Structures are given as C-alpha cells and as structure tokens.
Amino acid sequence: MEVRTWIILSLACVASSAHLPTVFMHGMGDSCFNEGMQDITKATGKHLGSYSVCIPTGPDQGSDTNNGFFMTMKDNLEVFAKAVKADPALKDGFNAIGFSQGNLLIRGYIQKYNDPPVSTWLSVHGCVVGVASFPSCDPKGLLGPVCGLLDRLIVGPAAYTNFMQHKLFQADYFRDPKLVNTTEYKANSELAQWNNEGEGFENSYASNFAKTKRFVMIKADKDSMIYPNEGEWWGALDADKNVLKMKDTEWYKKDLFGLKTADEAGKILFNSTSGNHLQFSEEDLFGWCDQHFIETPSGHSEVVV
C-alpha cells in the first residue's frame, strides 16, 4: 500500500472514531432488547466508529415494551433522562436517533434537561408534536388489546381527563385540534405543557432547545401511522382539520418553546422517505448520520478526507 493511501485511510479512521456517542430511542411496540433494535444500534456504532446505545425504560423486553403503552410519557422521560445522566460515555454530549413515538422522549429530554446536551437530533418519522388520531391501530392486529383501548378511550375528550393522562402514554400526546382551547386540554394534557399551550409557561424550554445544534426531521411521505404526517415536520391540523405547515402553527409563530428561533438560526433541517411509516433502509440511516453527525467529542469539526 502506498504511504499516501495509508495516511488517508488512517485519517479517515481517526475522524470516524471521533464521532460523538449515539443514543437510540425505540418506537411504540418495540424494545431495546429486541434483535432489530440491537442490530441497528450496533451497526450504527460500527459505521460511525463510536459508542452507540439504545436506552430502554424498563429492565427487560416485556417491561420496556409495556412502558411504551402503560407508563406515562412524563415517567418514561424521567427514566430516559436518568439513564443518560448515569452513563459516563455520554457526559460530553451525544447525538440522538428516535424512531416514531421514541422521538417524544428525545424532544422532552431536550426541552426539560439537555444536560448532557444533544448535539444533533435525528427524528425518523417522529410524532414530535403529537397526533390527531391513530389511523393504523388495528384492533385485530398484534397489538389488538392496546389498539382497542386507543379506539375507545383516547380519540376524543376522554383523553384529557386527569385519569387517562396518567394511564396511557398515547393519551399524553393525542392532540385534537378542536379541543386545544378547552380547560381540560390546557390543565391536564402533558403535550399541552410541553408545547407551552397549557395553563402555565416554562421559559427554560426555549433556552434548553437552543443548546441543540441540529434538528433533522425525516418525514414518511406515505405515512399511515402518524396523522397528520406533517407533524413529523412540526406541522399540525387546525380546528377545521386543514394541514398547517410548521411556520403556520401557533407554537412557531409565537415561538412557544424555541422552534422559530432554532429555525431562524438554520438548525431545522428536513428530509423525507417515499414509503410508509418506518420504511427506510440502513443505507438511508447511515447517510443521514454521515451528513449530520459532524461534531467530535472535543467539539471540533470532523476531518473530511
């Protein structure tokens, strides 16, 4: 091998190994203990040459999966944040990859803590500002019992009772555009608090949001799970069920949690996949990582050869 070629390859390896750690958060019905999540976590770490970990919210596959339904969004977030803080490999910051529902925990962590900070958040088909319904929840499918609960109890005013907000994760991020001005939504909805649409207003959300350098939002063009799928790009529905783009939403125009500030700083980046929910390839994922995970642990830009 020529000396010049060896030097180039060596520099590339050093640059790759200098990536920040990567933290994964799985979606609804999945678990960090499942083979698929373990494989993608390991493969991403190998590709980037850096530490990679999926953080569960339960000690085993069953509890981790169940907590994605029967533990509140807030309590899931607290478990996630505690695990991040306890991992010495993450003390200088990390990049975060969320799949579907898991992105809510990354968003919550960024707004409420962000210490150690998330450098780049890669949201893959994430319901980051809630959903207006659960159109692909099939009561006859694998998650039948849970889907039945969603159909009967969540889609409607019952979602905003204090009782329901403390029973199901999915109730915590259900956002009916016709009910967002009701007393029940403002007082009880966990999502309302995170959006600063509730009774109080938390100024620290915006300052914590500002600590993250990039928000990479991946939308599935034919998504049948997240409704509206424009929510994957910070959009929503209005009271007449018209789709609002990010810049037309109240949380953007009023900069309720720092989204507008981040966008004006060039931090909000958009991409999409052509298929349905969570239909993407390993090549897609690695491409997003290579493009956007550009800091080293020391904070310097990666060497590009």
Residue 301 clears pLDDT 50, i.e. is over it:
no
The two beta strands, 236-237 and 243-244, are antiparallel
Give the Cα separation of 142 and 89 in Å (integer).
36
Q: Determine the 3-state secondary structure of 24 from DSSP.
A: strand
Give me the long-range contacts of 290-294 (CB less than 8 A, separation at least 24): 292/95, 292/120, 292/122, 292/214, 292/216, 293/19, 293/20, 293/22, 293/48, 293/95, 293/119, 293/120, 293/122, 294/120
CATH topology of domain 20-132+201-291: Rossmann fold (3.40.50)
Residue 28 clears pLDDT 60, i.e. is over it:
yes
- What is the CA 212 to chain-centroid distance, rounded? 13
Q: What size, in residues, is the chain?
A: 305
Residue 178 neighbours by CB under 8 Å, 6+ apart: 239
DSSP 150: I
Cβ-based neighbour number of residue 106 at 10 Å: 25
Quick: pLDDT tens for 177-204.
999 999 999 999 999 999 999 998 999 9
Least confident of 36-40, 54-58, 239-243: 239-243
pLDDT band at 114 (very low <50, low <70, confident <90, very high): very high
Residue 98 clears pLDDT 60, i.e. is over it:
yes
User: Against a cut of 0.85, is the pTM above it?
Assistant: yes
Quick: pLDDT tens for 125-148.
999 999 988 656 555 555 556 665
Average pLDDT (276-280) is 94
Angle made by CA atoms 268, 86, 65, in degrees to the nearest 5: 70
Every domain of the chain and the residues it spans: 20-132+201-291
Cβ-based neighbour number of residue 175 at 10 Å: 23
Residue 115 clears pLDDT 60, i.e. is over it:
yes
What is the pLDDT, as a whole number, of residue 132?
86
Give the Cα separation of 150 and 139 in Å (integer).
9
Nearest to 99, CA basis, from 125, 131, 135: 125
Average pLDDT (241-263) is 97
Give the Cα separation of 150 and 223 in Å (integer).
19
Give the per-residue SS3 of 164-213.
HHCCCHHHHCECCCCCCCCHHHHHHCHHHHHCCCCCCCCCHHHHHHCCCC
Give the Cα separation of 79 and 38 in Å (integer).
19
pLDDT band at 1 (very low <50, low <70, confident <90, very high): very low
What is the pLDDT, as a whole number, of residue 6?
33
Give the Cα separation of 82 and 72 in Å (integer).
16
Distances (CA, A) of 18 to 4, 46, 96: 21, 12, 16
What is the pLDDT, as a whole number, of residue 4?
36
% residues pLDDT > 70 (the chain): 83
Residue with tokens 């030097």: 7
